[in-house]
Chain A
Amino acid sequence: MASVKGCNIPDDLYYNVETNVWARKEGDGTVTIGMTAYAAALAGQVVSCTPKKVGRSVDLNKSAATVESGKWVGPVKAPVSGEVVAINDALSSAPGTINSDPYGSGWMVKMKPANWDADSAALITGGAVAAAFETKMNADGFAGCGA
Protein backbone atom coordinates (compact mmCIF):
# COMPACT_ATOMS: atom_id res chain seq x y z
CA MET A 1 0.00 0.00 0.00
CA ALA A 2 1.48 3.34 -1.05
CA SER A 3 0.16 6.79 -0.32
CA VAL A 4 1.35 9.67 -2.49
CA LYS A 5 0.33 13.21 -1.50
CA GLY A 6 -2.63 11.72 0.35
CA CYS A 7 -3.75 9.59 -2.62
CA ASN A 8 -3.99 5.85 -2.14
CA ILE A 9 -1.88 4.13 -4.85
CA PRO A 10 -1.59 0.40 -4.00
CA ASP A 11 1.81 -0.87 -5.13
CA ASP A 12 0.57 -4.37 -5.99
CA LEU A 13 -1.32 -3.06 -9.06
CA TYR A 14 0.08 -2.22 -12.49
CA TYR A 15 -0.12 1.39 -13.65
CA ASN A 16 0.13 3.47 -16.76
CA VAL A 17 1.17 6.64 -14.93
CA GLU A 18 0.76 8.81 -18.03
CA THR A 19 -2.90 7.88 -18.58
CA ASN A 20 -3.57 7.49 -14.83
CA VAL A 21 -5.15 4.04 -14.98
CA TRP A 22 -4.53 0.79 -13.08
CA ALA A 23 -4.63 -2.88 -14.10
CA ARG A 24 -4.84 -6.04 -11.99
CA LYS A 25 -4.13 -9.51 -13.35
CA GLU A 26 -6.78 -11.88 -12.03
CA GLY A 27 -6.44 -15.60 -11.32
CA ASP A 28 -8.60 -16.46 -14.34
CA GLY A 29 -6.26 -14.63 -16.73
CA THR A 30 -8.48 -11.57 -17.16
CA VAL A 31 -7.29 -8.04 -16.37
CA THR A 32 -9.43 -5.64 -14.36
CA ILE A 33 -8.92 -1.94 -15.06
CA GLY A 34 -10.02 1.37 -13.56
CA MET A 35 -9.06 4.97 -12.76
CA THR A 36 -6.51 5.75 -10.04
CA ALA A 37 -7.45 7.65 -6.89
CA TYR A 38 -5.33 10.48 -8.29
CA ALA A 39 -7.26 10.53 -11.60
CA ALA A 40 -10.53 10.57 -9.62
CA ALA A 41 -9.30 13.51 -7.51
CA LEU A 42 -8.40 15.49 -10.64
CA ALA A 43 -11.77 14.75 -12.21
CA GLY A 44 -13.87 15.53 -9.13
CA GLN A 45 -17.18 13.77 -8.49
CA VAL A 46 -17.86 11.35 -11.35
CA VAL A 47 -21.49 11.60 -12.51
CA SER A 48 -21.53 9.14 -15.43
CA CYS A 49 -19.46 6.23 -16.69
CA THR A 50 -20.08 4.37 -19.94
CA PRO A 51 -17.80 1.38 -20.52
CA LYS A 52 -17.23 -0.13 -23.96
CA LYS A 53 -19.58 -3.02 -24.62
CA VAL A 54 -18.71 -6.63 -23.80
CA GLY A 55 -17.17 -8.32 -26.82
CA ARG A 56 -15.54 -5.15 -28.18
CA SER A 57 -11.82 -5.26 -28.67
CA VAL A 58 -9.85 -2.26 -27.46
CA ASP A 59 -6.38 -1.30 -28.65
CA LEU A 60 -3.65 -0.36 -26.21
CA ASN A 61 -4.18 3.16 -24.84
CA LYS A 62 -7.56 3.55 -26.57
CA SER A 63 -10.75 4.30 -24.71
CA ALA A 64 -12.15 1.44 -22.59
CA ALA A 65 -14.74 3.66 -20.89
CA THR A 66 -15.94 7.27 -20.96
CA VAL A 67 -16.43 9.22 -17.73
CA GLU A 68 -18.06 12.57 -16.96
CA SER A 69 -17.45 14.87 -14.01
CA GLY A 70 -18.15 18.57 -13.58
CA LYS A 71 -19.26 18.73 -17.23
CA TRP A 72 -15.92 17.32 -18.45
CA VAL A 73 -16.02 14.17 -20.54
CA GLY A 74 -12.99 12.02 -21.28
CA PRO A 75 -11.73 8.51 -21.96
CA VAL A 76 -10.29 5.97 -19.54
CA LYS A 77 -7.56 4.42 -21.64
CA ALA A 78 -6.92 0.69 -21.69
CA PRO A 79 -3.48 -0.08 -20.20
CA VAL A 80 -3.50 -3.37 -22.14
CA SER A 81 -4.97 -4.38 -25.48
CA GLY A 82 -7.63 -7.05 -25.60
CA GLU A 83 -11.31 -7.84 -25.57
CA VAL A 84 -13.83 -6.50 -23.05
CA VAL A 85 -15.25 -9.55 -21.23
CA ALA A 86 -17.15 -7.84 -18.40
CA ILE A 87 -18.25 -4.36 -17.40
CA ASN A 88 -19.16 -3.03 -13.98
CA ASP A 89 -22.92 -2.53 -14.35
CA ALA A 90 -23.19 -1.09 -10.83
CA LEU A 91 -21.44 2.09 -11.99
CA SER A 92 -24.43 3.18 -14.07
CA SER A 93 -26.50 3.63 -10.91
CA ALA A 94 -23.62 4.58 -8.59
CA PRO A 95 -20.85 6.30 -10.59
CA GLY A 96 -19.60 7.98 -7.40
CA THR A 97 -18.10 4.62 -6.43
CA ILE A 98 -15.24 5.54 -8.79
CA ASN A 99 -14.30 8.31 -6.34
CA SER A 100 -14.99 6.44 -3.12
CA ASP A 101 -13.50 3.02 -3.96
CA PRO A 102 -11.45 3.35 -7.17
CA TYR A 103 -9.58 0.03 -6.83
CA GLY A 104 -12.48 -2.04 -5.46
CA SER A 105 -16.14 -1.59 -6.35
CA GLY A 106 -15.19 1.31 -8.66
CA TRP A 107 -13.55 -1.01 -11.22
CA MET A 108 -14.67 -0.33 -14.80
CA VAL A 109 -14.04 -3.20 -17.20
CA LYS A 110 -12.42 -6.63 -17.28
CA MET A 111 -10.46 -7.48 -20.38
CA LYS A 112 -9.07 -10.65 -21.85
CA PRO A 113 -5.58 -9.36 -22.60
CA ALA A 114 -4.19 -9.98 -26.09
CA ASN A 115 -0.60 -9.84 -24.92
CA TRP A 116 -0.27 -9.36 -21.16
CA ASP A 117 3.46 -10.05 -20.98
CA ALA A 118 4.38 -7.41 -23.56
CA ASP A 119 1.82 -4.83 -22.44
CA SER A 120 2.49 -5.20 -18.72
CA ALA A 121 6.23 -4.80 -19.26
CA ALA A 122 5.52 -1.16 -20.11
CA LEU A 123 3.47 -0.63 -16.90
CA ILE A 124 4.84 0.32 -13.49
CA THR A 125 4.33 -1.79 -10.38
CA GLY A 126 5.81 -2.41 -6.93
CA GLY A 127 8.42 -0.13 -5.42
CA ALA A 128 8.63 2.22 -8.40
CA VAL A 129 4.97 3.26 -8.19
CA ALA A 130 5.18 5.96 -5.52
CA ALA A 131 8.07 7.89 -7.09
CA ALA A 132 6.48 7.75 -10.57
CA PHE A 133 3.21 9.21 -9.29
CA GLU A 134 4.95 11.82 -7.18
CA THR A 135 6.81 13.03 -10.28
CA LYS A 136 3.57 13.18 -12.25
CA MET A 137 1.72 15.01 -9.46
CA ASN A 138 4.48 17.60 -9.24
CA ALA A 139 4.45 18.09 -13.02
CA ASP A 140 0.65 18.51 -12.88
CA GLY A 141 0.87 21.11 -10.08
CA PHE A 142 -1.26 18.87 -7.84
CA ALA A 143 -1.58 19.77 -4.16
CA GLY A 144 -2.87 16.41 -2.94
CA CYS A 145 -5.92 14.20 -2.54
CA GLY A 146 -8.32 15.87 -0.11
CA ALA A 147 -6.33 19.14 -0.33
Chain B
Amino acid sequence: MNHWRVIDTGLRPAAQNIALNRALLEARQAEEIPSTLRFLRFTPSALLGYHQSAEQELNLDYCREQGIAVQRRITGGGAIYFDDTQIGWELYLHKRDLGTADMQVISQRICHAAATAISALGVDARFRPRNDIEVDGRKISGTGGAFDGDALMFQGTLLIEFDVEKMLRVLRIPAEKLSDKAIESARERVANLKDLLGRRPDASVVRSNIVEAFESEFGVEFSDGDLTLSEHRRYQAALREIDHPDWVGLINRPAADMPIVEAAQKFPGGLLRVAVTFDRQTMTIRQVWFTGDFFVNPRRSIADLEAALRDLPLDRLEHKIESFFAGRQVDMLTLRPADFVAVVRLALSQPLMASNS
Protein backbone atom coordinates (compact mmCIF):
# COMPACT_ATOMS: atom_id res chain seq x y z
CA MET B 1 0.00 0.00 0.00
CA ASN B 2 1.21 3.51 -0.84
CA HIS B 3 1.96 5.83 2.06
CA TRP B 4 1.03 9.47 1.78
CA ARG B 5 1.73 12.23 4.26
CA VAL B 6 -0.73 14.33 6.26
CA ILE B 7 0.33 17.67 7.77
CA ASP B 8 -1.48 20.42 9.66
CA THR B 9 0.11 23.84 9.31
CA GLY B 10 -2.29 25.49 11.80
CA LEU B 11 -3.67 29.03 11.84
CA ARG B 12 -1.69 31.38 9.59
CA PRO B 13 -2.01 34.66 7.68
CA ALA B 14 -3.02 34.33 4.04
CA ALA B 15 0.40 35.19 2.59
CA GLN B 16 1.99 32.29 4.48
CA ASN B 17 -0.72 29.86 3.45
CA ILE B 18 -0.48 30.80 -0.23
CA ALA B 19 3.33 30.66 -0.12
CA LEU B 20 3.01 27.14 1.30
CA ASN B 21 0.72 26.27 -1.64
CA ARG B 22 3.46 27.28 -4.04
CA ALA B 23 6.22 25.58 -2.02
CA LEU B 24 4.45 22.24 -1.64
CA LEU B 25 3.31 22.14 -5.27
CA GLU B 26 6.89 22.80 -6.43
CA ALA B 27 8.26 20.20 -4.02
CA ARG B 28 5.73 17.62 -5.26
CA GLN B 29 6.63 18.42 -8.87
CA ALA B 30 10.32 17.95 -8.04
CA GLU B 31 9.48 14.60 -6.39
CA GLU B 32 10.98 15.86 -3.12
CA ILE B 33 7.87 14.98 -1.10
CA PRO B 34 5.25 12.22 -1.16
CA SER B 35 1.66 12.96 -2.10
CA THR B 36 0.33 15.03 0.77
CA LEU B 37 -2.89 16.07 2.49
CA ARG B 38 -2.56 19.41 4.26
CA PHE B 39 -5.00 20.96 6.73
CA LEU B 40 -4.83 24.70 7.20
CA ARG B 41 -6.65 27.64 8.72
CA PHE B 42 -6.59 31.36 7.98
CA THR B 43 -6.65 34.55 10.02
CA PRO B 44 -9.35 36.78 8.43
CA SER B 45 -8.57 37.01 4.71
CA ALA B 46 -10.19 37.94 1.41
CA LEU B 47 -8.75 35.56 -1.18
CA LEU B 48 -8.89 36.35 -4.89
CA GLY B 49 -8.84 33.68 -7.58
CA TYR B 50 -5.58 33.75 -9.56
CA HIS B 51 -7.02 35.72 -12.49
CA GLN B 52 -9.17 38.14 -10.50
CA SER B 53 -8.70 41.81 -9.75
CA ALA B 54 -9.15 43.07 -6.16
CA GLU B 55 -10.89 46.25 -7.34
CA GLN B 56 -13.48 44.22 -9.21
CA GLU B 57 -14.14 41.56 -6.62
CA LEU B 58 -13.76 43.06 -3.15
CA ASN B 59 -15.01 45.88 -0.96
CA LEU B 60 -11.48 47.07 -0.22
CA ASP B 61 -12.60 49.85 2.16
CA TYR B 62 -14.37 47.30 4.32
CA CYS B 63 -11.37 44.97 4.26
CA ARG B 64 -9.09 47.82 5.42
CA GLU B 65 -11.49 48.87 8.19
CA GLN B 66 -11.81 45.34 9.47
CA GLY B 67 -8.14 44.41 9.18
CA ILE B 68 -8.90 41.70 6.65
CA ALA B 69 -5.84 40.68 4.61
CA VAL B 70 -6.25 40.72 0.81
CA GLN B 71 -4.34 37.99 -1.00
CA ARG B 72 -4.24 36.25 -4.37
CA ARG B 73 -4.48 32.46 -4.54
CA ILE B 74 -2.51 30.34 -7.00
CA THR B 75 -5.77 28.49 -7.77
CA GLY B 76 -8.65 29.46 -10.00
CA GLY B 77 -12.25 30.34 -9.27
CA GLY B 78 -13.84 33.23 -7.41
CA ALA B 79 -13.05 35.43 -4.44
CA ILE B 80 -13.85 34.05 -1.00
CA TYR B 81 -13.73 35.18 2.61
CA PHE B 82 -11.75 32.82 4.80
CA ASP B 83 -11.37 33.06 8.56
CA ASP B 84 -10.80 30.78 11.51
CA THR B 85 -14.39 29.49 11.41
CA GLN B 86 -13.42 27.40 8.38
CA ILE B 87 -11.05 24.50 7.86
CA GLY B 88 -9.06 24.23 4.65
CA TRP B 89 -7.94 20.94 3.14
CA GLU B 90 -5.56 20.44 0.23
CA LEU B 91 -4.22 17.50 -1.71
CA TYR B 92 -0.83 17.59 -3.42
CA LEU B 93 -0.72 14.74 -5.92
CA HIS B 94 1.13 13.39 -8.93
CA LYS B 95 -0.92 12.68 -12.04
CA ARG B 96 0.08 9.01 -11.83
CA ASP B 97 -1.88 8.84 -8.53
CA LEU B 98 -5.02 9.54 -10.55
CA GLY B 99 -4.91 7.45 -13.74
CA THR B 100 -6.23 10.34 -15.84
CA ALA B 101 -5.03 13.72 -17.00
CA ASP B 102 -8.56 15.08 -17.53
CA MET B 103 -8.76 17.98 -15.09
CA GLN B 104 -12.57 17.91 -14.77
CA VAL B 105 -12.53 14.21 -13.94
CA ILE B 106 -9.83 14.78 -11.32
CA SER B 107 -11.71 17.58 -9.56
CA GLN B 108 -14.95 15.55 -9.56
CA ARG B 109 -13.23 12.55 -8.05
CA ILE B 110 -11.65 14.60 -5.26
CA CYS B 111 -14.92 16.46 -4.58
CA HIS B 112 -16.88 13.20 -4.36
CA ALA B 113 -14.40 11.89 -1.77
CA ALA B 114 -14.59 15.15 0.19
CA ALA B 115 -18.39 14.94 0.12
CA THR B 116 -18.18 11.42 1.54
CA ALA B 117 -16.00 12.74 4.38
CA ILE B 118 -18.45 15.53 5.20
CA SER B 119 -21.41 13.14 4.99
CA ALA B 120 -19.78 10.89 7.59
CA LEU B 121 -20.31 13.69 10.09
CA GLY B 122 -24.05 13.16 9.76
CA VAL B 123 -25.20 15.35 6.85
CA ASP B 124 -26.00 14.54 3.22
CA ALA B 125 -23.15 16.27 1.35
CA ARG B 126 -22.89 16.02 -2.44
CA PHE B 127 -20.74 17.32 -5.28
CA ARG B 128 -22.39 20.15 -7.23
CA PRO B 129 -20.89 21.05 -10.61
CA ARG B 130 -18.73 22.78 -11.25
CA ASN B 131 -16.72 22.84 -8.08
CA ASP B 132 -18.86 23.04 -4.97
CA ILE B 133 -19.94 20.58 -2.33
CA GLU B 134 -23.43 21.17 -1.00
CA VAL B 135 -25.91 19.92 1.54
CA ASP B 136 -29.50 20.07 0.30
CA GLY B 137 -28.76 22.87 -2.14
CA ARG B 138 -26.64 24.86 0.34
CA LYS B 139 -22.92 25.30 -0.29
CA ILE B 140 -20.71 23.86 2.44
CA SER B 141 -17.38 23.69 0.61
CA GLY B 142 -15.85 25.52 -2.36
CA THR B 143 -12.85 24.19 -4.22
CA GLY B 144 -10.17 25.06 -6.78
CA GLY B 145 -6.93 23.70 -8.18
CA ALA B 146 -3.50 24.45 -9.59
CA PHE B 147 -1.05 22.28 -11.51
CA ASP B 148 2.57 22.41 -12.53
CA GLY B 149 3.78 19.70 -14.88
CA ASP B 150 2.69 16.35 -13.47
CA ALA B 151 2.01 17.72 -9.98
CA LEU B 152 -1.30 19.16 -8.93
CA MET B 153 -2.83 20.76 -5.88
CA PHE B 154 -6.55 20.74 -5.19
CA GLN B 155 -7.98 22.65 -2.26
CA GLY B 156 -11.31 23.08 -0.53
CA THR B 157 -12.88 24.96 2.33
CA LEU B 158 -15.20 23.52 4.91
CA LEU B 159 -17.61 25.89 6.64
CA ILE B 160 -17.86 25.09 10.34
CA GLU B 161 -19.39 28.22 11.87
CA PHE B 162 -19.31 30.74 9.08
CA ASP B 163 -20.27 34.45 9.22
CA VAL B 164 -22.29 34.89 6.02
CA GLU B 165 -22.90 38.58 6.58
CA LYS B 166 -19.18 39.25 6.85
CA MET B 167 -18.59 37.33 3.62
CA LEU B 168 -21.18 39.49 1.83
CA ARG B 169 -19.59 42.70 3.12
CA VAL B 170 -16.11 41.60 2.02
CA LEU B 171 -17.22 40.84 -1.54
CA ARG B 172 -18.26 43.48 -4.07
CA ILE B 173 -21.94 42.71 -4.52
CA PRO B 174 -25.13 44.69 -5.11
CA ALA B 175 -25.95 46.96 -2.16
CA GLU B 176 -29.44 45.49 -1.84
CA LYS B 177 -27.83 42.14 -1.06
CA LEU B 178 -26.92 43.62 2.33
CA SER B 179 -30.52 44.15 3.49
CA ASP B 180 -31.65 41.96 6.39
CA LYS B 181 -33.87 39.96 4.09
CA ALA B 182 -31.13 39.44 1.52
CA ILE B 183 -28.66 38.36 4.20
CA GLU B 184 -31.23 35.86 5.47
CA SER B 185 -31.66 34.57 1.95
CA ALA B 186 -27.87 34.26 1.52
CA ARG B 187 -27.76 32.28 4.78
CA GLU B 188 -30.20 29.83 3.22
CA ARG B 189 -27.72 29.17 0.41
CA VAL B 190 -24.75 28.44 2.65
CA ALA B 191 -24.54 25.53 5.05
CA ASN B 192 -22.62 25.62 8.31
CA LEU B 193 -21.74 22.32 9.90
CA LYS B 194 -22.54 23.75 13.33
CA ASP B 195 -26.09 24.69 12.29
CA LEU B 196 -26.69 21.42 10.48
CA LEU B 197 -25.45 19.28 13.36
CA GLY B 198 -26.76 21.47 16.19
CA ARG B 199 -23.26 21.58 17.70
CA ARG B 200 -19.76 22.54 16.68
CA PRO B 201 -18.14 19.38 15.30
CA ASP B 202 -14.89 18.27 16.86
CA ALA B 203 -12.05 19.43 14.59
CA SER B 204 -10.14 16.19 15.06
CA VAL B 205 -13.18 14.18 13.92
CA VAL B 206 -13.53 16.38 10.84
CA ARG B 207 -9.88 15.84 10.01
CA SER B 208 -9.95 12.09 10.56
CA ASN B 209 -13.06 11.75 8.35
CA ILE B 210 -11.31 13.62 5.54
CA VAL B 211 -8.19 11.47 5.96
CA GLU B 212 -10.24 8.26 5.85
CA ALA B 213 -12.25 9.34 2.80
CA PHE B 214 -9.13 10.11 0.78
CA GLU B 215 -7.44 6.89 1.99
CA SER B 216 -10.41 4.94 0.75
CA GLU B 217 -10.72 6.87 -2.54
CA PHE B 218 -7.05 6.47 -3.49
CA GLY B 219 -6.26 3.15 -1.77
CA VAL B 220 -3.49 4.65 0.35
CA GLU B 221 -2.55 5.10 3.99
CA PHE B 222 -1.67 8.48 5.48
CA SER B 223 1.10 9.02 8.03
CA ASP B 224 1.53 12.19 10.09
CA GLY B 225 4.48 14.30 8.97
CA ASP B 226 6.05 17.73 9.12
CA LEU B 227 7.31 20.19 6.55
CA THR B 228 10.67 19.11 5.16
CA LEU B 229 13.78 21.26 4.83
CA SER B 230 13.29 21.57 1.07
CA GLU B 231 9.71 22.75 1.62
CA HIS B 232 10.93 25.35 4.15
CA ARG B 233 13.50 26.60 1.65
CA ARG B 234 10.93 26.83 -1.14
CA TYR B 235 8.45 28.43 1.25
CA GLN B 236 10.85 31.24 2.20
CA ALA B 237 11.45 32.03 -1.48
CA ALA B 238 7.72 31.91 -2.30
CA LEU B 239 6.82 34.12 0.67
CA ARG B 240 9.12 36.88 -0.58
CA GLU B 241 7.17 36.98 -3.84
CA ILE B 242 3.66 36.46 -2.46
CA ASP B 243 3.79 38.67 0.65
CA HIS B 244 4.16 41.68 -1.67
CA PRO B 245 1.83 44.25 -3.30
CA ASP B 246 3.06 43.24 -6.79
CA TRP B 247 1.66 39.72 -6.32
CA VAL B 248 -1.69 40.92 -4.97
CA GLY B 249 -1.85 43.49 -7.80
CA LEU B 250 -0.73 41.05 -10.49
CA ILE B 251 -4.09 41.39 -12.24
CA ASN B 252 -5.40 44.91 -11.83
CA ARG B 253 -8.55 45.90 -13.68
CA PRO B 254 -10.90 48.74 -12.70
CA ALA B 255 -14.28 47.99 -11.17
CA ALA B 256 -15.94 49.93 -14.02
CA ASP B 257 -14.95 47.14 -16.45
CA MET B 258 -17.12 44.74 -14.46
CA PRO B 259 -20.36 46.57 -13.64
CA ILE B 260 -23.18 45.16 -11.58
CA VAL B 261 -26.44 45.74 -13.45
CA GLU B 262 -29.94 45.12 -12.15
CA ALA B 263 -33.44 44.76 -13.52
CA ALA B 264 -36.94 43.77 -12.42
CA GLN B 265 -39.71 42.51 -14.67
CA LYS B 266 -43.28 41.38 -14.03
CA PHE B 267 -44.36 38.15 -15.69
CA PRO B 268 -47.67 36.23 -15.43
CA GLY B 269 -45.77 33.82 -13.15
CA GLY B 270 -44.49 36.52 -10.79
CA LEU B 271 -41.98 39.32 -10.32
CA LEU B 272 -38.37 38.50 -11.15
CA ARG B 273 -35.48 40.66 -10.01
CA VAL B 274 -31.93 40.06 -11.10
CA ALA B 275 -28.50 41.50 -10.41
CA VAL B 276 -25.74 40.54 -12.83
CA THR B 277 -21.99 41.02 -12.51
CA PHE B 278 -20.90 41.37 -16.12
CA ASP B 279 -17.35 41.30 -17.45
CA ARG B 280 -17.39 43.71 -20.39
CA GLN B 281 -13.97 42.70 -21.61
CA THR B 282 -14.85 39.07 -22.17
CA MET B 283 -18.64 39.58 -22.56
CA THR B 284 -19.08 37.03 -19.80
CA ILE B 285 -21.63 36.79 -17.02
CA ARG B 286 -19.60 36.37 -13.84
CA GLN B 287 -22.46 35.95 -11.42
CA VAL B 288 -26.22 36.43 -11.19
CA TRP B 289 -28.54 36.72 -8.24
CA PHE B 290 -32.28 36.12 -8.69
CA THR B 291 -34.80 37.41 -6.16
CA GLY B 292 -38.36 38.65 -6.40
CA ASP B 293 -41.85 37.38 -5.80
CA PHE B 294 -42.44 34.05 -7.46
CA PHE B 295 -43.02 30.41 -6.60
CA VAL B 296 -40.43 27.77 -7.26
CA ASN B 297 -40.14 24.23 -5.96
CA PRO B 298 -37.68 22.85 -5.03
CA ARG B 299 -36.37 26.16 -3.69
CA ARG B 300 -32.79 25.11 -4.27
CA SER B 301 -33.39 25.35 -8.02
CA ILE B 302 -32.59 29.06 -7.93
CA ALA B 303 -29.25 28.49 -6.20
CA ASP B 304 -28.49 25.73 -8.70
CA LEU B 305 -29.39 28.01 -11.61
CA GLU B 306 -27.16 30.77 -10.23
CA ALA B 307 -24.30 28.24 -9.93
CA ALA B 308 -24.90 27.03 -13.50
CA LEU B 309 -24.71 30.59 -14.86
CA ARG B 310 -21.35 31.47 -13.26
CA ASP B 311 -18.64 32.52 -15.74
CA LEU B 312 -20.97 32.06 -18.69
CA PRO B 313 -20.22 33.68 -22.07
CA LEU B 314 -23.21 35.91 -22.82
CA ASP B 315 -23.95 34.26 -26.16
CA ARG B 316 -24.65 30.97 -24.36
CA LEU B 317 -27.25 32.44 -21.96
CA GLU B 318 -30.42 31.22 -23.70
CA HIS B 319 -29.06 27.75 -24.31
CA LYS B 320 -27.78 27.38 -20.75
CA ILE B 321 -31.05 28.42 -19.10
CA GLU B 322 -33.16 26.26 -21.44
CA SER B 323 -30.99 23.20 -20.90
CA PHE B 324 -30.88 23.81 -17.13
CA PHE B 325 -34.67 23.61 -16.85
CA ALA B 326 -34.94 20.83 -19.45
CA GLY B 327 -32.67 18.69 -17.28
CA ARG B 328 -34.68 18.69 -14.04
CA GLN B 329 -38.12 18.79 -12.51
CA VAL B 330 -38.89 22.33 -11.36
CA ASP B 331 -42.37 23.49 -10.47
CA MET B 332 -42.73 27.25 -10.91
CA LEU B 333 -46.41 27.62 -11.85
CA THR B 334 -46.64 29.84 -14.93
CA LEU B 335 -43.13 31.26 -14.72
CA ARG B 336 -41.13 30.14 -17.77
CA PRO B 337 -37.41 29.55 -18.39
CA ALA B 338 -37.61 32.27 -21.06
CA ASP B 339 -38.62 34.75 -18.31
CA PHE B 340 -35.23 34.25 -16.60
CA VAL B 341 -33.52 34.91 -19.94
CA ALA B 342 -35.64 38.01 -20.50
CA VAL B 343 -34.89 39.64 -17.14
CA VAL B 344 -31.13 39.01 -17.49
CA ARG B 345 -31.23 40.48 -21.01
CA LEU B 346 -33.16 43.47 -19.67
CA ALA B 347 -30.48 44.09 -17.02
CA LEU B 348 -27.74 43.89 -19.65
CA SER B 349 -29.56 46.20 -22.05
CA GLN B 350 -28.94 49.17 -19.75
CA PRO B 351 -25.89 51.34 -20.22
CA LEU B 352 -23.23 49.27 -18.50
CA MET B 353 -22.27 51.73 -15.78
CA ALA B 354 -20.69 50.67 -12.50
CA SER B 355 -23.66 50.61 -10.17
CA ASN B 356 -21.61 50.47 -6.99
CA SER B 357 -18.01 50.83 -6.10
Contacts and interface: CB of A to CB of B under 8 A. Distances in A.
Given A19-B149, A92-B281, A73 B50 contact: yes
B143 A71 contact: yes
Nearest to B77: A71
A70 B281 contact: no
B282 A69 contact: no
A72 B79 CA distance: 14
A117 interface: no
Contacts of B100: 140-142
A43 B103 contact: yes
A94 B146 contact: no
Q: Using C-beta atoms within 8 Å of the partner chain, give the interface range for chain B.
A: 20 to 34
Contact of A73 (B76, B281, B284): B76
B103 A42 contact: yes
13 contacts: A47-B311, A48-B50, A68-B50, A71-B107, A71-B143, A73-B49, A73-B74, A73-B144, A73-B146, A74-B146, A92-B281, A140-B101, A141-B102
A71 B102 contact: no
A53 to B, nearest CB: 11
A142 B104 contact: no
A95 interface: yes
A101 to B, nearest CB: 16
Given A93-B281, A93-B283, A94-B282, A74 B147 contact: yes
Contacts of A43: 103
Interface string A62-104: 0000101111111101000000000000001111100000000
Q: Which 6 A-B pairs have the closest CB atoms?
A: A140-B101, A48-B51, A74-B147, A71-B77, A71-B76, A68-B76
Nearest to A77: B149
B102 A70 contact: no
A77 B100 CA distance: 20
Interface residues of A, number: 25
Interface string A1-19: 0000000000000000001
Nearest to B144: A71
Contacts of B283: 93
Given A19-B149, A50-B51, A70 B282 contact: no
Q: Does more than half of chain A's interface fall in helix, strand or loop, or is it mixed? A: mixed
Contacts of A73: 49-51, 74-76, 144-147
B184 interface: no
Contacts of B145: 71-73
Nearest to A142: B101
A72 B147 contact: yes
A55 interface: no
Contacts of A74: 146-148
Given A43-B103, A74-B146, A93-B283, A140 B95 contact: yes
A85 B107 CA distance: 35
Nearest to B74: A73
A44 interface: yes
A105 B124 CA distance: 46
B274 to A, nearest CB: 22
B180 to A, nearest CB: 32
B336 interface: no
Interface string B99-121: 11111100100000000000000
Contacts of B75: 71-73
